[in-house]
């Protein structure tokens, strides 16, 4: 059966092409994640997470900002339920990504959907969104997804290990003020969001409320601050929308 | 802290959030206000962590021009607003912070 053999080979080739394409498309995004991984690994031990814990967290949790926030909270002495609840809240945005991708995974069996869900990071979402926007044959596009997440995951492990290693070599790094590395990283992540009034208001309210509630036990103030900021931002956003709708109706 | 419990818990919530919609695939609809609200989550949570970290780096309110955390934090915000690049912001902010602490001994 030369024909069937040829077809099977071409499927394997298509899959490989997609997989490599996915990994390649993720490289620019991986470069952005490298400093995060290294800083995470370096800060883990000073924050109270063991080297093994840091590696295991990168392996199983695989969520950059969630992991960062977790060690930040550990360093500040937060209780375990608060850390887990914060991780949940911070990662809720991934549900938006998933909602967006549902039409693309609907036809796949659960054995595909489970690993794909595990690898649904900001970076892989960005890479696969571009792929899914192409008009060409999408039959094997889930291999592209797999390639993207494999590259992202592998790099994340490597960078965490590198950071942990650096932390071991320079154990007095904490006294260098590396806690500021986390703050400055977060600043660089927040500022690009500040593009409109509701977002500015949300962030200012959250910052002020975080200060006002700083004495609350187990860092619970973080939740209060976040909810306050979201409520203000969302209200302003809706007011703005209503105003725009009214202006449109008037014109 | 029990690290096994911590990592298992974090794994569970992170994976559930990513998987739940894939599992039911398209039987649920997001109301628009919820999507917008979720969009506020990352910057708001991060800010709630940053502000106390730079205003009270040693556990007490330090609202003064000789607080290097605060100065370098403000500097990083300006750098980020101007050049809009994460890596530049991190490097410039860290260099400025180190300069203040070890160059000027703040």
pLDDT tens digit string along B10-61?
999 999 999 998 988 756 666 888 778 877 887 888 899 889 989 998 888 9
**Which residues in chain B are closer than 8 Å to A102, comparing Cβ atoms?**
21-22, 25-26
Gap between the Cα atoms of A181 and A163, Å rounded = 13
- Please state, in angstroms and rounded to a whole number, the distance separating the CA atoms of residues A169 and A166: 5
Structural domain includes residue B20: yes
Q: Is residue B35 part of a domain?
A: no
Give the pLDDT confidence of A136-181 residue by residue, as tens digits. 788 899 999 999 999 999 999 999 999 999 988 887 766 666 678 7
Of the candidates B32, B44, B55, the one whose C-alpha atom is nearest the C-alpha of residue A232 is: B44
B81 and B58 in a common domain? yes
Task: Using CA coordinates, name the residue in chain B closest to A224.
Answer: B48
Nearest residue in A to B73, CA atom = A184
Considering Cα of A234, then A237, then A243, then A244, what sign does the dihedral take?
Answer: negative
Cα gap A125→A133, rounded to integer Å: 12
Q: What is the interface pTM, i.e. ipTM, of the complex? A: 0.87
Among A180, A194, A204, A224, pick the best mutation site for testing chain B contact (most B Cβ within 10 A): A180
Extract the tokens encoding A99: 């909602």
- The pair of three-digit structure tokens given for residue B99, joined into one six-digit string: 């300069």
Let me know whether B17 and B48 are in one domain. Answer: no
Q: Which residues of B64-95 are buried (b: 16+ CB within 10 A; e: fewer)?
A: eeebbbbbbbebbbebbeeeeebeebbebbbe
B45 contacts A90? CB cut-off 8 A: yes
* Cβ-defined contact of B21 to A99 (cutoff 8 Å): yes
Q: Is the CB of B54 less than 8 angstroms away from the CB of A183?
A: yes
Q: Are B22 and B73 found together in one domain?
A: no
Q: What is the mean pLDDT of chain B?
A: 88
Q: Which residue of B has its CA nearest to A55?
A: B7
Range of the domain at B14: 1-30
Say whether both B49 and B95 belong to one domain: yes
């Amino acid at each position: 059966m030369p024909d069937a053999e040829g077809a099977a080979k071409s499927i394997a080739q298509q899959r490989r092409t997609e997989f490599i394409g996915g990994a390649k498309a993720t490289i620019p995004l991986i470069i952005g994640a490298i400093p995060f991984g290294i800083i995470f690994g370096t800060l883990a031990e000073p924050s109270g997470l063991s080297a093994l814990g840091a590696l295991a967290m990168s392996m199983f949790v695989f969520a950059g900002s969630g992991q960062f926030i977790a060690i930040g909270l550990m360093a500040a002495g937060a209780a375990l339920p608060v850390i887990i609840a914060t991780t949940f809240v911070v990662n809720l945005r991934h549900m938006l990504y998933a909602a967006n991708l549902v039409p693309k995974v609907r036809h796949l069996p659960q054995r595909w959907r489970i690993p794909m869900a595990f690898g649904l990071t900001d970076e892989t979402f960005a890479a696969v969104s571009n792929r899914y926007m192409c008009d060409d044959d999408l039959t094997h596009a889930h291999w592209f997804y797999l390639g993207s997440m494999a590259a992202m995951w592998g790099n994340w492990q490597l960078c965490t290990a590198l950071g942990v290693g650096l932390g071991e070599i320079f154990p007095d790094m904490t006294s260098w003020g590396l806690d500021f590395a986390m703050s400055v990283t977060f600043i660089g992540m927040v500022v690009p969001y500040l593009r409109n009034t509701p977002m500015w208001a949300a962030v200012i309210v959250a910052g002020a409320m975080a200060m006002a509630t700083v004495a609350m036990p187990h860092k619970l103030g973080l939740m209060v601050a976040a909810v306050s900021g979201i409520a203000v931002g969302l209200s302003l956003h809706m007011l703005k929308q209503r105003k725009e709708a009214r202006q449109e109706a008037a014109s | 802290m029990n690290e096994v419990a911590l990592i298992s818990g974090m794994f569970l919530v992170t994976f559930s959030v990513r998987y739940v919609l894939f599992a039911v695939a398209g039987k649920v609809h997001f109301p628009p206000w919820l999507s917008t609200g979720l969009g506020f989550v990352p910057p708001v949570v991060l800010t709630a962590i940053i502000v106390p970290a730079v205003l009270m780096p040693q556990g007490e309110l330090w609202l003064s021009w000789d607080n290097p955390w605060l100065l370098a934090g403000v500097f990083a915000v300006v750098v980020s607003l101007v050049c809009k690049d994460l890596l530049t912001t991190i490097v410039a902010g860290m260099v400025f912070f180190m300069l203040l602490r070890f160059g000027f001994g703040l």
